[in-house]
Amino acid sequence: MVAHLFLLVGTITTADMPPVLASDFSLGRYALMIERVDSLLAGKVGLTIPELARLHLWKGFGQAAGGDRPAARASFGVALSLDVTLELDPRDVSPKILAEFESARTARLAPPTGKPEPTYLVVEDSRPAAALRSMILPGWGQWSLGRRTRGAAFAAVGCAALGGWLAAAAWEDDAHDRYLHALGADIPSAYDEYNRAYKIHRALGYTAIAVWAGAVSDVLLGPTTSVRVVGSGTSFGVVAGRTIP
């Protein structure tokens, strides 16, 4: 029972529908509801990917309730292509709509002949996730984006700088200890060694920081590579989660 309730968290109900569409839906004005959604989709500008997914979902609600099953599956298919996490609440949504929604999820059917559904070119910015990887290990982000030569170079230099910094830290500690215990004529040479170890330790630390910062900056300033095409028909773009005409 607890697991079942957990699965229902975040599911979509008719209460999530915009009021004007909910009114049409509750009164059985399915054709008008679909026209309203098409009008909103035609505007294109300023819609996020989740908003586009919801609009196609509501359009599918109207089509399924109105008996146009192929069109409903097509709309649900576009909605699921835009947002694969969409889930309907079976306690609220009618079995007829649920059946078409699950059919679309299973088969991802092509739109019916006639007026095609729109296409969305989804350009997903993969740089933030890659930058996070390069913060953990320089070059990992570049490698994940397919820039493997650059990634291997950052990783090699970063690991070398980090290893040298750790070794120099141990050397500095030992040299400092010898300097503190040096006597008479041994003091100048012990101090010179400690001073040299101190400078090398700091230089390698700054080098490691520069490599890490460079790896992250290289990812953030580089190109994004992930592109998805959703639907079929006349296309327009979606850049970093927002549509452009």
pLDDT of residue 96: 92
Rounded Cα distance between 130 and 119, Å, is 28
Encode pLDDT of 87-116 as tens digits: 898 889 999 999 999 998 887 645 555 555
The predicted model scores a pTM of 0.49
Q: CATH code for 2-116?
A: 1.25.40
Give the three-state DSSP class for 218: helix
Residues constituting the chain: 245
- Cα separation of the two ends of the chain: 47
The tokens for 1 are 């029972």
Q: Which residue has the higher pLDDT, 145 or 210?
A: 210
pLDDT of residue 45: 54
The tokens for 109 are 């059917």
| Cβ 141 vs Cβ 130: under 8 Å | yes
Rounded Cα distance between 94 and 198, Å, is 73
Domain ranges in the chain are 2-116, 128-221
Encode pLDDT of 115-171 as tens digits: 556 666 666 677 888 889 999 999 998 888 778 888 899 999 999 999 999 999 999
Which ranges constitute the DSSP H helices of the chain? 2-8, 19-26, 30-43, 49-65, 69-82, 95-107, 127-136, 140-144, 148-181, 186-221
Cα angle value 69/22/20 (rounded, 5°): 120
User: Phi, psi (5° rounding) for residue 112?
Assistant: -70, 160
223 DSSP 8-state letter? -
| Cβ 161 vs Cβ 208: under 8 Å | yes
| Cβ 228 vs Cβ 110: under 8 Å | no
